[in-house]
């Protein structure tokens, strides 16, 4: 009985480890990397870039989440985007060709013969979405939150927590 429980525990542990690795890989594929620069005490410049070939919506969500996180850490409740830009980070990836030799025995000449097979090199273009935004931060009472273009930090952070769970 003790052995069966050990086997079941080990099996569950392996499944959990596998699911953890799969989740980490999937998050890594869709994740975006952010960079925040302070322009002054109320102004941020945030850049979010996909870590892989990804969807622009993932980068946009990462951008807004990073802005909201930075604003909350500095004690601000609202922000307004004063400037933004979206583009693709373009890289060329080159895969060199290789030469493969196939050996076969020729019974007529009673020897091994080689045939040479070349694979050509391939160059491809990779596009990774990048988004940048310059934002102005505001505390409660400094700006009318019902105004168009005013973003609520807490609503963005709570919406992002629901997406992650």
Question: What is the CB neighbour count within 10 angstroms for residue 53?
Answer: 11
How many angstroms separate the Cα of 22 from the Cα of each of 17, 62, 115, 128?
Answer: 9, 21, 41, 22
Q: Which residue has the higher pLDDT, 6 or 56?
A: 56
| Distance, CA of 88 to CA of 149 (rounded, Å) | 25
Q: Which residue has the higher pLDDT, 122 or 43?
A: 43
User: Which position has the token pair 């013969």?
Assistant: 113
Judged by average pLDDT, the poorest of 14-18, 38-42, 55-59, 72-76 is 14-18
Summarize pLDDT for 127-159 with one digit per residue, the tens. Answer: 889 999 999 999 999 999 999 999 999 999 988
- Residue 25: predicted pLDDT: 36
Whether the predicted pLDDT of 19 surpasses 70: no
Mean pLDDT of the chain: 79
- Residue 164: predicted pLDDT: 61
Judged by average pLDDT, the poorest of 50-54, 79-83, 115-119 is 50-54
Summarize pLDDT for 57-98 with one digit per residue, the tens. Answer: 889 999 999 999 999 999 999 999 999 999 988 888 888 878
């Amino acid at each position: 009985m003790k052995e069966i429980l050990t086997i079941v525990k080990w099996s569950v542990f392996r499944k959990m480890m596998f699911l953890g690795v799969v989740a980490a890989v999937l998050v890594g594929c869709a994740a975006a990397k952010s960079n925040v620069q302070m322009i002054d005490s109320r102004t941020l410049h945030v850049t979010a870039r996909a870590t892989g070939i990804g969807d622009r919506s993932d980068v946009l969500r990462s951008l807004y989440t990073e802005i909201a996180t930075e604003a909350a850490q500095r004690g601000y409740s609202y922000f307004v985007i004063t400037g933004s830009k979206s583009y693709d980070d373009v890289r060329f990836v080159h895969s060199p060709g290789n030469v493969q030799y196939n050996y076969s025995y020729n019974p007529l000449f009673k020897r091994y013969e080689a045939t040479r097979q070349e694979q050509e090199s391939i160059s491809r273009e990779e596009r990774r979405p990048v988004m940048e935004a310059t934002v102005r931060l505001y505390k409660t009472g400094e700006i009318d939150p019902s105004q168009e273009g005013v973003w609520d930090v807490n609503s963005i952070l709570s919406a992002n927590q629901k997406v992650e769970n």
